[in-house]
Every structure is written in C-alpha cells, then in structure tokens.
C-alpha cells in the first residue's frame, strides 16, 4: 500500500513470512517494492512488517537476513530510524 501525504510518500508493506517463503520475499523486495518507492520524492517513509532482518543485531532468534531488502535500503538511501534513535539492542516493536 502506498500514498502521498503533504509531499511525503508513505509505503506500508507486509512481506511474505516464513523460511519456506524466502524466495517469494526476496522477489517481493526485488520486483514489487521498488515499483512502490518513488525515486524523485524528497521524503519517503517505508514501514510495515518486513519479516526479515538486515543484521544479526536486529534479532534475538534465528537470523532471517534479506540481501534484497539491504539493497533497497542502500539504493533508495533509506535510514533505519530505529537504528539511529535507540541505544538498546535486541528489542522489537509490535
């Protein structure tokens, strides 16, 4: 789901979950998500349930790393706000 509010693009995702859907999730990040993220927006907010992590420090359980999501973060110059605002690791939100 995506929309624009006051010039800010807001994209909310629910990526496929589970180890058995890793290929489907990576395809979602490689094909569908780039289509939703504008390249010419000044401000973008990407939120949702990604069902994977970008680093081991993002989880206390099994590492479900996504190379495709890491590439999206890099290519679209996104910032993980949780990373920049917290000093406590191994926490998650609901």
pLDDT in tens, the chain (94 residues): 888 889 888 999 999 998 889 999 999 999 999 888 877 667 888 999 999 888 777 777 777 888 999 999 898 888 887 765 556 655 555 4
Distance (Å, whole) CA 44 – CA 37: 8
Domain of residue 65: give its range. Answer: 2-85
Number of domains present in the structure of the chain:
1
Judge whether 92 lies within some domain.
no
Distance (Å, whole) CA 68 – CA 65: 9
Cβ count near 74 (within 10 Å):
9
Q: Give phi and psi for 59, each to the nearest 5.
A: -145, 150
Judge whether 26 lies within some domain.
yes
């Amino acid at each position: 789901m995506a929309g624009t509010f006051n010039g800010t693009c807001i994209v909310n995702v629910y990526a496929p979950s589970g180890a058995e859907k890793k290929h489907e999730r990576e395809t979602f990040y490689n094909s569908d998500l780039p289509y939703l993220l504008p390249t010419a927006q000044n401000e973008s907010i990407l939120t949702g349930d990604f069902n994977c992590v970008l680093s081991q420090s993002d989880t206390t359980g099994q590492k479900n790393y996504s190379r495709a999501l890491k590439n999206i973060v890099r290519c679209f110059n996104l910032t993980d706000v949780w990373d920049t605002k917290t000093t406590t690791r191994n926490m998650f939100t609901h």
